């Protein structure tokens, strides 16, 4: 889509500083931009790139003050990152929408006329399919599943029987929703008996599930992901977990069974949560942390077991000096031993 800087600024309610007549026909990262590109500056770590970028225009905060000449045209907005997100969503919405039923596929339930079902998709019996749903090729939707309006299931998604998917949910390729929870009862002979998992998975409205993420069905009741939560790729959510509203989890997070997680938490990659614990609201948890017990609200933590970020990095500095400290202790012990011998 080709648009002038002036038109684009009007679209995002921004103010122009520079050539308003220039045209934008592409988007790029600030360090890789070429003429004709729109880019943005939101992270101060990238500020030095604004003085060398080849972009035609840059979205910046209204209070941005350049320290030297900027060749690109500036578009000043309240939040450059949020503004770019709105723009990209707008551009994406202009793409032709897929509709219709491709063949071969299996339709065990009625599908609205405005839905899209790709080739080799399977839709079971008693499935409720909302308006404008898009089911890409090779998707499996089991019996008695509910799909809300505007749901998108990308290629290879598997949704087991009985699960409920809310409105505007996006499930990326290869994700599995509703597979059996990991439940086995130990027997006296040392073997394990499988415990049937008879619950379901519920995804509330506006949830996004990343590629190859798996969410297990509950043993009884429901595994629940509440509205607005976004899960990255390669995440494992175990049976009977409850995840609150508007959380964001980075890749490879693992949540063990029956853990309850509150609202508005930001969780870094490869964080592991023990089972049967409770996590509060508004926490930031650093990558590769291990959370063995319940935590409260409004914490910024990292590590295993987790500690405050400042304490973690202070301890890290001590760890780097451990070998030096061990030598110092050995030397001190020798000195004390020699002093004791001399006194005798």
> Which residues are annotated as catalytic?
239
* Cα 267 from Cα 273, distance rounded (Å): 11
Q: Is 18 exposed, middle or buried (0-12, 13-18, 19+ CB in 10 A)?
A: middle
For 284, 286, 299, the CA distances from 309, given in Å and listed in that order, are 10, 8, 9
| Number of alpha carbons in the 13 Å side-chain half-sphere of residue 317 | 5
Comparing C-alpha atoms, which of 280, 206, 269, 182 is closest to residue 233? 269
Contact status, residue 118 vs residue 111, Cβ threshold 8 Å: no
> Rounded to 10 degrees, what is the CA torsion of 201, 206, 210, 213?
-10
Residue 318: both structure tokens together: 């001590």
Distance from C-alpha of 86 to C-alpha of 77, rounded to nearest angstrom = 12
Q: Whole-angstrom Cα distance, residue 204 to residue 193?
A: 32
Strand partners, 16: 75
The CA distance from 118 to 86, in Å, is 28
Cα–Cα nearest to 209, from 198, 220, 223: 223
Q: Three-state DSSP class for 189? A: coil
Reading phi first (left if > 0) and then psi (alpha if -120 to 50, else beta), residue 162 is in left
| Two structure tokens written together for 248 | 């964001």
């Amino acid at each position: 889509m080709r648009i002038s800087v002036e038109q684009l600024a009007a679209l995002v309610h921004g103010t122009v500083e520079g050539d308003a007549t220039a045209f934008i026909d592409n988007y790029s990262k600030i360090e890789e931009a070429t003429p004709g590109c729109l880019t943005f500056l939101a992270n101060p770590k990238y500020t030095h790139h604004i003085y060398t970028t080849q972009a035609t225009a840059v979205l910046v905060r209204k209070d941005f003050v350049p320290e030297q000449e900027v060749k690109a045209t500036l578009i000043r907005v309240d939040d450059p990152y949020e503004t770019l997100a709105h723009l990209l969503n707008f551009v994406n919405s202009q793409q032709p929408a897929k509709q219709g039923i491709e063949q071969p596929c299996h339709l065990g339930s009625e599908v609205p006329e405005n839905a899209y079902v790709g080739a080799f998709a399977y839709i079971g019996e008693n499935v409720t399919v909302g308006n404008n749903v898009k089911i890409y090729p090779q998707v499996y939707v089991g019996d008695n599943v509910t799909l809300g309006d505007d749901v998108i299931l990308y290629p290879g998604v598997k949704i087991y029987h009985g699960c409920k998917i809310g409105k505007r949910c996006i499930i990326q390729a290869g994700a599995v929703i509703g597979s059996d929870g990991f439940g086995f009862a130990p027997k006296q002979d040392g073997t394990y008996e499988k415990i049937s998992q008879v619950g379901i998975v519920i995804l509330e409205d506006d949830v996004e599930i990343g590629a190859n993420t798996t969410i297990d069905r509950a043993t009884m009741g429901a595994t629940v992901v509440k509205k607005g939560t976004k899960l990255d790729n390669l995440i494992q959510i175990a049976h009977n977990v409850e995840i609150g509203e508007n959380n964001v989890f980075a890749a490879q997070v693992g949540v063990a069974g029956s853990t309850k997680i509150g609202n508005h938490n930001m969780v870094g990659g490869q964080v592991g949560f023990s089972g049967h614990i409770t996590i509060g609201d508004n926490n930031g948890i650093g990558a590769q942390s291990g959370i063995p017990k319940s935590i409260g609200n409004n914490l910024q933590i990292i590590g295993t077991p987790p500690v405050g970020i400042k304490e973690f990095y202070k301890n890290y500095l001590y760890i780097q000096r451990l070998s030096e400290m061990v030598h110092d202790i050995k030397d001190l012990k020798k000195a004390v031993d020699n002093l004791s011998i001399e006194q005798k």
